[in-house]
Amino acid sequence: MMSEMDPEQDVSAVSAVVARPRCFGITIFTQRYAEVRDFYVDLLSACVLQEKAGRVCEMELAGMPFCLRMADHGEDVSYFHLQLVLTRQEPVLAELRRRGIIVTTAGPFTNFRDPEGRVVKLSQERVPVI
């Protein structure tokens, strides 16, 4: 016979196991692999760690590891808002505008979208989300 667990005890047991999780990667699924890869590498200076050309690219951007994968097994294209601190924004913004990418400003953020519509927000310092 199963005994009922006290919900508070259950939560504390889980907290003890995953008290300080660490991110080892975020995966972005895309249908426009080359265009999205070049966007993050060329414009935002993502560092390519390893790549299987046209299929998978492991990168690091602003100290955050992420993986770009071709969505060819029925995966949905991934969407998110990426927030980056970039103190010298003007060269990046000038290149975005040169490429015809719409750049807007809302509060402390300068916003634009990657080739598949993911929002990228730049600020000159870390801005609380709250």
pLDDT (tens digit, 9 = 90+) per residue, 88-123?
A: 889 999 999 999 999 999 888 999 999 999 999 999
**Residue 67 burial by Cβ neighbours in a 10 Å radius (0-12, 13-18, 19+):** middle
Does the reported pTM lie above 0.85? Answer: no
Q: Domains in the chain and their CATH numbers?
A: 22-123 (3.10.180.10)
DSSP H or E run through 35: helix 33-38
> Where residue 49 falls among pLDDT bands split at 50, 70, 90?
very high
